[in-house]
Structure 1
Amino acid sequence: MHLTTLAPAQQPTDGFAGWAAGLVDTLGGPGAGLAIALENLFPPLPSEVILPLTGFAAGQGVLSLVSALFWTTLGSVVGAVALYWIGMLFGRERMHAIWGKLPLVNASDLVRTEEWFARHGTKAVFLGRMVPIFRSLISVPAGVERMPLPVFLMLTTLGSLVWNSVLVMAGYWLGDQWDVVETYVGILSKVVAALVLVAVAAYLAVRLRSRGRARHRRAS
């Protein structure tokens, strides 16, 4: 059975969902893996569409559930490794050079960030694979900090398997209502984005205040 043979109410044909459905229809599990690999490299592509849709396809017999989980997790790892290598090639020195040119930041901020990643990097990579937005981004600092590749692969595989399993199984069990998952994960993504914006705004406010105090002390 193919997704394109389903009833119109069940058939995802529009926009990104239609594109992802076409990949799964044409290539099966590898198509789902390719879509997820691209989602890792281009975070605006939503995993909350690809994964439940793949679970729905498994429920319709387009591919097996084991194949759905295997290929989507492999795609996640491939995309994450590509970003890891980008971070590794980018390098620590170049990161420091760019960081030093940014307004309202100090070199000590980056040093503290590096120290934090050295202490908590394993948890950050594992748990980061289950957080919208950060799922892809966490691979870059892992590369910059040159986390051992075997450790990175293990953590990324485990974290991706957890995230993928939840969304694929949700699509599998929800059937033609698989798109409900997108709604709830989309809300979670917006909450995460809002928290990040609040954190950035608070950081900038503290920086501006500390700089204002420093100028006042110099003037007096």
Structure 2
Amino acid sequence: MAEWIVSLIGQLGYVGITLLMCLENLFPPIPSELIMPLAGFAVSQGKMNLGLVIFAGVAGTILGALPWYYLGYRMKADRLRRFFDRYGKWLGISGKDIVKSQQWFQRHGNKAVLWGRLIPGVRTLISLPAGIAAMNFAQFVLFSLIGIVAWVTILTYLGFSLGKEYHLVSDYMDTITTVVGIALLIGIIFFLGKRFLRRHQSHS
């Protein structure tokens, strides 16, 4: 996988980054945690421009997110779940993944699209429930872009900073993901607690 990514970026440059990040969103097993840090390493060697690398990564990611949004918009959740239970193994996606992303969206609303872009296992599929819920397309693109720019910039910067050790980025991202997940969990508990107290006060 790593050799193929290196070869494609070497041959196609920024277009290769865009293509890889687009494919990464269509086929989750292709890891952005390897693509963008590798591009960041190339920047540290003076072979690529940092701004153009980030732009290429963001462009590819948003392009890869659009087909999932459209699919969710056109199909019902139950139908999608059955489809991925049957054929999802070829894409590395299961019906449970669809349910997980839908529950995430229902819990957090439109902001789920933003935060979901920072959570592995959710960020690629968050486009599906957004489409199922017929989320306003302009808002979908805006919230997606904010999260995608953050994700791509973090990965690229880590690759730039680590240099030849760019492959260690996945370890750093595990820590960052844990921190983000805990922060979101605390936020959810706080929100639900306030809601419970309001209901309790209204009935008393």
Q: Report if TM-score (shorter chain) is over 0.5.
A: yes
Aligned letter for 2:11?
Answer: T
**Equivalent residue for 1:63?**
48
Q: Please state if 1:40 is matched with 2:25.
A: yes
Decide which moves more: 84-93 or 43-52: 84-93
Q: Please state if 1:144 is matched with 2:132.
A: yes
CA distance in 2, matches of 1:34, 1:175: 23
Shift of 1:89: 1.7
Matches within 5 A, 1:124-203: 124-185=112-173
User: 1:54 touches 1:168 (CA, 8 Å); kept in 2?
Assistant: yes
Q: How many residues align?
A: 163
* Structure 2 unaligned blocks of 5 or more: 84-98, 179-204
**Equivalent residue for 1:84?**
69
Aligned letter for 1:55?
Answer: G
Structure 1 residue ranges (4+ consecutive) displaced by more than 3 angstroms after TM superposition: 91-98, 116-119, 186-189
Query: How much is the aligned-residue C-alpha RMSD, in angstroms?
Result: 2.8
TM-score normalized by structure 2? 0.71
User: 1:32 touches 1:68 (CA, 8 Å); kept in 2?
Assistant: yes
* Structure 1 unaligned blocks of 5 or more: 1-15, 99-109, 192-220
Matches within 5 A, 1:2-13: none
TM-score normalized by structure 1? 0.66
Specify whether residues 96 and 22 from structure 1 end up closer, same or farther in structure 2 by C-alpha distance, changes over 3 A only.
closer
CA distance in 1, matches of 2:81, 2:121: 24
User: 1:127 touches 1:159 (CA, 8 Å); kept in 2?
Assistant: yes
Aligned letter for 2:116?
Answer: G
CA distance in 1, matches of 2:165, 2:73: 41
Q: Which structure has the larger Rg?
A: 1
CA distance in 1, matches of 2:80, 2:28: 21
CA distance in 1, matches of 2:78, 2:32: 33
Specify whether residues 132 and 95 from structure 1 end up closer, same or farther in structure 2 by C-alpha distance, changes over 3 A only.
closer
Q: What secondary structure does 2:17 align onto?
A: helix
